[in-house]
A and B are shown apart, each in its own frame.
Chain A
Amino acid sequence: MSMETGSALINKEERVKMVEKEFDWDGLARDIRRDILRILTKAGSGHTGGSLSIVEILIALYFKKMRHRPDNPDWPDRDRFILSKGHGAPALYSVLARQGYFRLSELDSLRCLCGRLQGHPYCCNTPGVEISTGSLGQGLSVANGIAMAGKLDQRLYRVYALLGDGELQEGQVWEAAMTSAHYRLDNLCALIDYNKLQIDGPVCKIMGIEPVGEKWKAFGWAVRQIDGHSLDEIMDALDWAEREKGRPSMIICNTVKGKGVSFMENKVDYHGVAPTPRELELALAELSGGGDA
């Protein structure tokens, strides 16, 4: 646990619980999923499935692993996170708000002309966002650049990049994969949200990426495949990645698109579509377990 400062939602008592492993992580995941569904419904558009699939990954990074300061987003020694699959923005915004980068109430302005939370992450006005993403395939290269700067300046921060599975079809990802290995960027850890679906259908039918682990190994990466909804497995893998020396690490996270809402799970229809108000009602009812408000 290395959270640096307070946040809008997590109070002192809860932080102690987090350290003592009494914290209700499932409850937090449900809260974030409800944020995502609520703000997407309000916005009337956006990417539901691929936001719900990355919740545990973001919790592990922002609430457990990364050293960062929500009250000082430019802290030079912060660990960096790049959401290369920028369409997962709703999940990132919820996590950033719950960490205190901006007010929780601001989430409601997602995709609104009046607000600053753009449909895809925009670094120039959103605290905690390092680079603008949305056009796929570029985030790993950016993460490489940050990792290279870290080596150059002999800073100890780590760099994390989260890619979509369909995103691996972009050629630039493999250019970047070569760069990470060539420059021995062991301060870099990439993760793939392997939910097996992309906008036009199953990844294996649109443009297969298997054997995905073998590909990354062949490119010189240390590779692990895990359950991307198990906080314990994600944390184990992040710790493993930190111990890896001389090469970058890839954590392939097996996830479920639409995770947490039964009628959205593994449904390609919810890739780029927001829930209707009726669907939101049903989804929130499903996510109301755990005794949280």
Chain B
Amino acid sequence: MAMLGTRDVYGDTLVKLGAKNKDIVVLDADLSVSTRTAKFAEAYPERFFNMGIAEQDMISTAAGLATCGKIPFVSTFAVFLAGRAWDQVRQCVCYSEKNVKLVSTHAGITVGEDSATHQANEDIALMRILPNMTVICPADGIETARVIETVAMHKGPVYVRLARCKFPVIYDENYRFRIGKSDMIRDGSQATIIAIGIMVSHAIEAAKRLSEEGIDVRVINMSTVKPIDVKAIHKAALETGAIVTAEEHSIIGGLGSAVSEVIGESNIPCPIKRIGVKDCFGVSGKPEELLEKYCLGVKDIIEAAKDAIKRRSRPCPSA
């Protein structure tokens, strides 16, 4: 399977957008080589600002640039962007409704060897709670390109969550992304796996293996976590009767919580099983080892789907 780094695509897409739109400026906090904003810095040095290791200053500075009509893309690791500078994101960006694009890399447990200090498993929760914020987590490199192009045109604060490791490519160049619209990658009748980021490709693999066992599951890429695609969740609950959420993030406050909130406030009885980091900090290890240790693998999704199907209150609609 072809692999593509979401951060690599981000860097390339920024350069392309920068050529067309002179209002785009980029800020980074001494991690431009890792976040790939260094490509933009090389192409348009006058529109790139390295802010040093000072994330709080970086966010507020970006808001200042936005007051003058600039479209700042602000990047660093997810743990610093969402965590270190949260109050600045809250007051200068969200409360002030400034057109700032926060694009984090190195989100989730797959940061790997750098250990818990650098593994952001809380960023979606931190960003999702902020009014006026849009939260997007692309599933592969192709979607990342579409997302970055889209948010550059979108007016308002956006948080985009990218990873350190390369993701399997699941889309082709014809893929179209719309903020707030999920994508059903595979239809199914007995359960729905709703996933984001790298977990989307895990979900596709899980669905394939489940079908070999005669279990027919739907797979949805919920790349926009906020505003979430309520219709698609209701439809999945109604038509398949069981939901599994899968994210490389804490099970608290992220995709699993968002989907549970939608179902909890609906009148559709539907068991939900959340796959995610279970309220703990990570450790050093290789990304694939960590995905297994924290139960984020394909086999974990398969077990969760079977469990959710078992817990449903009514028989499978069409099985």
The answer, yes or no, to whether B52 is at the interface (CB within 8 Å) is: yes
Complex Cα–Cα for A142 and B60 (A):
5
Contacts of B95 in A (CB 8 A): 122, 124, 132
The answer, yes or no, to whether B316 is at the interface (CB within 8 Å) is: no
Contact (A145, B62) CB under 8 Å given A123-B96, A131-B67, A138-B91: yes
Contact (A148, B64) CB under 8 Å given A132-B96, A172-B88: yes
User: Separation in Å of the B273 CB from the closest CB of chain A?
Assistant: 39
Interface flags for B19-60 (1: CB within 8 Å of A; 0: not) read 000000100000000000000000000110101101011111
Contacts of B319 in A (CB 8 A): none
The answer, yes or no, to whether A249 is at the interface (CB within 8 Å) is: no
Give the size range of A's interface with the partner: 20 to 34
Contact (A145, B60) CB under 8 Å given A124-B96, A152-B46, A179-B54: yes
B47 nearest CB neighbor, chain A only: A152
Contacts of A145 in B (CB 8 A): 60-68, 72
Complex Cα–Cα for A124 and B66 (A):
13
The answer, yes or no, to whether B226 is at the interface (CB within 8 Å) is: no
CB-based contact B91/A176 at 8 Å: no
Contact (A176, B92) CB under 8 Å given A124-B97, A146-B68, A150-B68: no
Contacts of B59 in A (CB 8 A): 141
Contacts of B97 in A (CB 8 A): 123-124
Contact (A146, B88) CB under 8 Å given A122-B95, A124-B97, A172-B60: no
**B contact residues, total (Cβ < 8 Å):** 32
The answer, yes or no, to whether B292 is at the interface (CB within 8 Å) is: no
Q: Which of A149, A178, A182 contacts B64 (CB 8 A)?
A: A149
The answer, yes or no, to whether A198 is at the interface (CB within 8 Å) is: no
The answer, yes or no, to whether B164 is at the interface (CB within 8 Å) is: no
The answer, yes or no, to whether A175 is at the interface (CB within 8 Å) is: yes
Contacts of A175 in B (CB 8 A): 52, 54, 56-57
CB-based contact B63/A142 at 8 Å: yes
User: Separation in Å of the A157 CB from the closest CB of chain B?
Assistant: 9
CB-based contact A178/B61 at 8 Å: no
Q: Which of B60, B68, B91 contacts A149 (CB 8 A)?
A: B68
Q: Is the interface of A mostly helix, strand, loop or mixed?
A: helix
Contacts of A171 in B (CB 8 A): 56
The answer, yes or no, to whether B202 is at the interface (CB within 8 Å) is: no
Interface flags for A131-159 (1: CB within 8 Å of B; 0: not) read 11111011101111111111011000000
Interface flags for A17-53 (1: CB within 8 Å of B; 0: not) read 0000000000000000000000000000000000000
Complex Cα–Cα for A145 and B26 (A):
12
Contacts of A124 in B (CB 8 A): 95-97
A121 nearest CB neighbor, chain B only: B96
Contact (A133, B91) CB under 8 Å given A123-B96, A141-B56, A175-B56: yes
Q: Which of B25, B49, B69, B92 contacts A142 (CB 8 A)?
A: B92
Contacts of A152 in B (CB 8 A): 25, 46-47, 70
Contact (A141, B91) CB under 8 Å given A146-B67, A150-B68, A178-B54: no
Q: Is the interface of B mostly helix, strand, loop or mixed?
A: helix
Complex Cα–Cα for A161 and B64 (A):
12
Q: Which of B59-116 contact A (CB under 8 A)?
A: 59-70, 72, 87-88, 90-92, 95-98
CB-based contact B64/A143 at 8 Å: yes
Most chain A CB inside 10 Å of its own CB: which residue of B58, B61, B98: B61
User: Separation in Å of the B172 CB from the closest CB of chain A?
Assistant: 38
Contact (A131, B96) CB under 8 Å given A145-B67, A153-B68, A175-B56: yes
Complex Cα–Cα for A258 and B73 (A):
42
Complex Cα–Cα for A64 and B101 (A):
37
Interface flags for A180-221 (1: CB within 8 Å of B; 0: not) read 001100000000000000000000000000000000000000
Most chain B CB inside 10 Å of its own CB: which residue of A130, A138, A145, A147: A145
Complex Cα–Cα for A277 and B88 (A):
37
Complex Cα–Cα for A182 and B54 (A):
13
Complex Cα–Cα for A26 and B228 (A):
57
Complex Cα–Cα for A130 and B25 (A):
19
A130 nearest CB neighbor, chain B only: B67
CB-based contact B56/A142 at 8 Å: no
Interface flags for A104-144 (1: CB within 8 Å of B; 0: not) read 00000000000000000011100000111111011101111
Complex Cα–Cα for A145 and B57 (A):
10
User: Separation in Å of the A90 CB from the closest CB of chain B?
Assistant: 19
Contact (A141, B67) CB under 8 Å given A135-B87, A152-B46: no
Complex Cα–Cα for A175 and B51 (A):
9
Contact (A134, B64) CB under 8 Å given A175-B54, A175-B56, A179-B51: no
- Can you report 10 A-B residue pairs in the complex whose CB atoms are below 8 A from each other? A76-B68, A138-B56, A138-B87, A145-B65, A145-B68, A149-B65, A149-B67, A152-B46, A176-B57, A179-B57
Other A-B pairs, 16, CB within 8 Å; known A137-B56, A138-B88, A149-B64 = A124-B97, A131-B96, A138-B60, A141-B59, A145-B61, A145-B64, A146-B67, A148-B64, A149-B67, A149-B68, A152-B46, A152-B47, A171-B56, A175-B56, A176-B61, A182-B52
Sort A-B residue pairs by CB-CB distance and give the 10 closest, nearest first: A145-B64, A141-B60, A149-B68, A175-B57, A175-B54, A142-B64, A145-B61, A145-B65, A132-B96, A172-B56
Residues of B in contact with A (beta carbons under 8 Å apart): 25, 46-47, 49, 51-52, 54, 56-70, 72, 87-88, 90-92, 95-98
Residues of A in contact with B (beta carbons under 8 Å apart): 76, 80, 122-124, 130-135, 137-139, 141-150, 152-153, 171-172, 175-176, 178-179, 182-183
